[in-house]
Amino acid sequence: MPPTEDPTRSPAPAVTRAAAILTLLAERGPLGLTDIARALGLAKSSTLNLCLALEQAGLVRKTEHLYALGRTTVRLGGAFVREFDLVREFYRVCADSPVLRSELLQVAMLDGTDVLYLARHEGRAPLRLSASIGDRFPASVTAVGSALLALLDPEDVRERFSDPATMPRWTERSVATIDDLQRKLDATRARGFALDDGETHPGVLGLAVVLPPRSPTEQPLALGASLMRDPSTTDRQDKIVAALLDARSALARPHLQPGTAI
């Protein structure tokens, strides 16, 4: 996916190309100048000028012969997350819950056909395979993605996922078609919480509920838990789902009515 697609349509092509460099470094990690230019289809001289400007702004840093994201991106990301009151209170609720304090928990938002992870509570036994803050996963395979997609009209879901590339199969259990996805979302609505049974990683179970927005200008977030499947999974799943629902109630404000979200 080159982020520089049709830069001529941008009102500020240089800004579009600079944003593409930041996106590329976020996805692939530190890269050399030649690799950046090749990946984005840019001239090496233009790429160098853009990288120098980004370096001056603190958005990238140069380490030996490689460019990486700079400190300013951390500050900007933190400012973005601070806009969500629920994210700030998420950690308090995790610490206060006898069940959730020992689990791996995440907060995510829907971004097109992906989910973007905004917060993470490690618990006692973190899973290295699970998403970290700032990661993007396909919404179609994750529990947090299913919880958020279940809020949408089925026609909206069908339109969003009309391109097969938006539904990658990460495991044999991952949904393969829009109809499969719609059936999973129907089950999510009926169940009252979302379930990822090995769709993201084999042997990993994901559970999620939606955290309703506190104002009309905020978008819904999802609170999810990830755990390894073992003989105690069924009993543990029931306790975690109940705790997630309690956490949602604790994070909701009084004006929100029960049943307004999954």
Q: What is the pLDDT of residue 172?
A: 94
Q: What predicted TM-score, i.e. pTM, was given to this entire model? A: 0.70
What is the chain's percent helix, strand, coil content, to nearest 5? 45, 20, 35
Can you name the residues that pair with 136 across neighbouring β-strands? 116
Where is pLDDT greater, at 95 or 5?
95
Residue 36 and residue 31: Cα distance in Å, rounded?
6
Rg of the chain in Å (alpha carbons): 20
Instruction: Please indicate whether the domains covering 7-72 and 83-251 agree at the CATH topology level.
Output: no
Pair 131, 106: CB distance under 8 Å: yes
DSSP state of 23: H
How long, in residues, is the chain?
A: 262
Q: What is the pLDDT of residue 7?
A: 53
Q: Where are the domains of the chain?
A: 7-72, 83-251
Instruction: For 8-64, write each residue's pLDDT tens digit.
Output: 577 888 899 999 999 898 888 899 999 999 999 999 999 999 999 999 998 999 988
Degrees to nearest 5, angle at CA 58 with 57 and 61: 125
Instruction: For 158-210, write each residue's pLDDT tens digit.
Output: 999 999 999 999 999 999 999 999 999 999 999 999 999 999 999 899 999 99
Question: What is the domain class of 7-72 according to CATH?
Answer: mainly alpha
Q: What is the fold of 83-251?
A: Beta-Lactamase (3.30.450)
Instruction: For 76-112, write each residue's pLDDT tens digit.
Output: 776 665 555 677 788 888 889 999 999 999 999 999 9
